[in-house]
Amino acid sequence: MKDLIQRFNVVPGNLYINVLIILFRQRDVVGMVKIRVLVNEYIDNPFYNIAVEESVALYADMHKIPTLRLWRNQNCIVIGRFQSPRLEIKADSCLKYRTPFVRRFTGGGAVYHDTGNLNFALTAPHGFYSGRGVKNAYMDAGMSIAESVSSLGVAASYHPINDVVIKDRKISGMAAAFMKNGFFIHGTLMISSDLGILSEVLNVPREKLESKAVQSVRKRVTTLNEESGKIISMETAMNAVVDGFGKYFKAEMVMDSITDEEIAMTDDLYRKKYLNMDWNLGEEYSVRKELYEEYRNILIETLPAGDRNAY
């Protein structure tokens, strides 16, 4: 084992992870395809959850281990890396429903999370996807989610570039990031999300709605429970997603737990980045603070009590 660890340039420590690294890096030789699966969430702290999202992506990319993470948040808004909260969220509604917002490290649009929404995130090296372009990565993840939803009795389809739909209504949206060794794709899957609150806290431009030929956010999106006409448990949905990715990639899904290295990276990102006012409010905040007072108040009011002194 020591010789193999040296040969494949892995970090000594976690024997199980090292074995996975070796298997993945020689899978072309032995014909093995595996995806590491993490069901890991900090449901009451969206800021920490997003820090975990980035640390797992960095770790999986560094070691070239295809990794699928499944997790949830309490109600919150996650905005894209380049978005302004002033344009994407309704501050009065966020205060009314005690809905925090946090900026993620990927681009794309703002999304609403609650415990009826399942988040998925896939990190994998270039050779794992069907092609080297980010469009291939989107397609692979989207087809996996469509497979997952369809297995639960509701016909779903991938809609390029980053949506999964049921009868033209969106049930899943995705965002991506270029990593050193591959791509990171993550997204939402609405199982039983409160679409009423979603439509109140998100500020979707009229032009975007008109381009989809709908008059409201509520008419554009749907949930798995609404479309199936029955209650599908989160556990059932999680199992379907794991099976869907496994079937699409023809991979063995290997359940795992988060490593000490990932936790250390998460703690560092949480303190230095995701609790940072400048990060969450954006570049404009530093020069026009007067425009962001109510958004700053949202963050202060909704941070975990022990971390409010950060602001």
CA separation for the pair 69, 120 (Å, rounded): 6
CATH number of the domain residue 77 falls in: 3.30.930.10
What does the DSSP 8-state code read for residue 272?
I
Contact 295, 279 (CB under 8 A): no
154 and 258 assigned to the same domain: yes
Predicted local confidence at residue 306, as pLDDT: 72
- Residue 92, both tokens: 């009065």
CA-wise closest residue to 304 among 43, 88, 79, 118 = 43
The count of domains in the chain is 2
Predicted local confidence at residue 209, as pLDDT: 36
Q: How many CB atoms lie within 10 A of CB 9?
A: 10
Predicted local confidence at residue 52, as pLDDT: 98
125 and 269 assigned to the same domain: yes
Predicted local confidence at residue 270, as pLDDT: 97
CA separation for the pair 304, 311 (Å, rounded): 12
- Residues β-bridged to residue 36: 67, 254
Predicted local confidence at residue 64, as pLDDT: 96
Structural domain range at position 14: 1-32
pLDDT per 10-residue tile (average), the chain, 311 residues = 39 50 46 88 96 98 97 97 94 94 96 98 95 92 97 96 95 97 98 95 63 52 96 98 96 96 98 94 85 89 75 61
138 and 252 assigned to the same domain: yes
97 and 241 assigned to the same domain: yes
94 and 5 assigned to the same domain: no
140 and 231 assigned to the same domain: yes
5 and 43 assigned to the same domain: no
Contact 104, 51 (CB under 8 A): no
4 and 25 assigned to the same domain: yes
Q: Characterize 170-196 residue by residue with b for buried, 16 or more Cβ atoms within 10 angstroms of its Cβ, and e for exposed.
A: bbbbbbbbebeebbbbbbbbbbbbbbe
**227-235 long-range Cβ contacts below 8 angstroms, 24+ apart:** 227/154, 227/166, 227/167, 227/169, 227/171, 228/152, 228/153, 228/154, 231/192, 232/152, 232/191, 232/192, 234/72, 234/115, 234/116, 234/118, 234/191
Predicted local confidence at residue 95, as pLDDT: 93
169 and 227 assigned to the same domain: yes
Predicted local confidence at residue 131, as pLDDT: 87
CA separation for the pair 186, 208 (Å, rounded): 22
Predicted local confidence at residue 6, as pLDDT: 41
184 and 210 assigned to the same domain: yes
86 and 14 assigned to the same domain: no
CA separation for the pair 97, 70 (Å, rounded): 25
Place of tokens 């560092």: 268
108 and 182 assigned to the same domain: yes
Computed from CA positions of residues 154, 193, 266, 162, in that sequence, does the dihedral angle turn out positive or negative? positive
CA separation for the pair 77, 205 (Å, rounded): 16
For 106-175, give the DSSP string.
S-S--EEE-TTEEEEEEEEEGGGSSSSSHHHHHHHHHHHHHHHHHTTT---EEETTTEEEETTEEEEEEE
Cβ neighbours of residue 206 closer than 8 Å, sequence gap 6 or more = none
What backbone phi and psi angles, to 5 degrees, belong to 75? -60, 130
